[in-house]
Structure 1
Amino acid sequence: MDQNTINGLIGGALLAYVIPKLSPYIDKYLKRIFGFLLNTVLKPLKGYFRNKRLNRLKEFRIMRVNNSAVTMQVVRAHTYFILFWGVIAFYMNLLTEPDFPAILDKSFVFGMFLTSPIYIFELLWLSADGKAKKLVKNRGRLGL
């Protein structure tokens, strides 16, 4: 065995012995830090997110009894899906042009900015699709 292997084995054995001994102190320190962060930073945010969730649930309860609203949400999700694939086809067409790949090679940030509509339409589609699936699921609970 060479020296690096021996050093690795000794270091691993020391870590396996030391870490369990230090663990209670590390846990106490982390609990104090995370307790401070939870009380001062995250508790105000918790109320905000609970309020947003409550408003979203109220919106779902109102929309789920309206057939037109449920259908409109499903159509919106499909429309965003078609737009997403349309933008992908547009950019695939642009990639066949000789100038566009050269622009992407020059600056990564500018290239990401130019291709941002793909990501925007993907996020819109995923958001609308999730909302439509939840509406259809809640609609089924009504038994109508």
Structure 2
Amino acid sequence: MEQIANNLLNVEWWFTGIFFIFIAKIIQWLFKILPTVTKKSYRAYQYKKLKTIKNMRWNSSAINYEIARSHAWFVVFFITCLTFLGWLAYKPIQEILNLGIVATLVFTTPIYLIEIIWLKQDLKVKDLIKYRNKLRITRR
């Protein structure tokens, strides 16, 4: 009984209780809102992607341009990988990489960014070609 009385008079105990109730309410709100927000954003992304594909699929020049962009990003990615591979032989760079995993990830971030850009462009080209093949021969 004495412990309960001490806890009721202690400010830290009240703060801890109220703080975790507040955190629980925020988590409950996030679980309620997050599914609808992700659905809306995914549908908006799909709509935007399909709209650009619909506008480009009749234009052979635009398709060839997107294919060339995809190949160009692959070349940039490949050159970046070769550059970083060459830097691994350089002693000061090896010392930076030996600092830890975080330093290595920060140092190699350009490789990851360029790879993501290339993969997104490649996926766009594949979708564009897939929807191009679905076109009918005659227009109505």
Structures share fold, TM-score greater than 0.5: yes
Correspondence for 1:55 among 39, 48, 52: 48
Backbone CA RMSD of aligned residues:
1.9
In structure 2, the residue matched to 1:80 is: 73
* Compared CA separation, residues 110 and 37, structure 1 to 2 (3 A): closer
CA distance, structure 2, for counterparts of residue 92 and residue 44 of structure 1: 41
- Answer 1 or 2: which has greater helix percent: 1
Correspondence for 2:121 among 109, 123, 128: 128
Correspondence for 1:92 among 85, 97, 107: 85
1:32-43 counterparts in 2 under 5 A? 39-43=32-36
- Across the two proteins, how many residue pairs are aligned to each other? 110
Identity within the alignment, % = 29
Correspondence for 1:140 among 97, 111, 133: 133
Residue 114 of structure 1 aligns to which amino acid in structure 2? F
TM-score by length of 2: 0.71
Note the residue ranges of structure 1 that are not aligned, 5 or more in a row.
1-35
CA distance, structure 1, for counterparts of residue 107 and residue 32 of structure 2: 41
Task: Write out per-residue CA displacement over residues 22-80 of structure 1, whole angstroms, 9 at most, x where no aligned residue.
Answer: xxxxxxxxxxxxxx876532123312221221121111100111111111111111111
Shift of 1:104: 0.6
Note the residue ranges of structure 2 that are not aligned, 5 or more in a row.
1-28
Shift of 1:98: 1.2
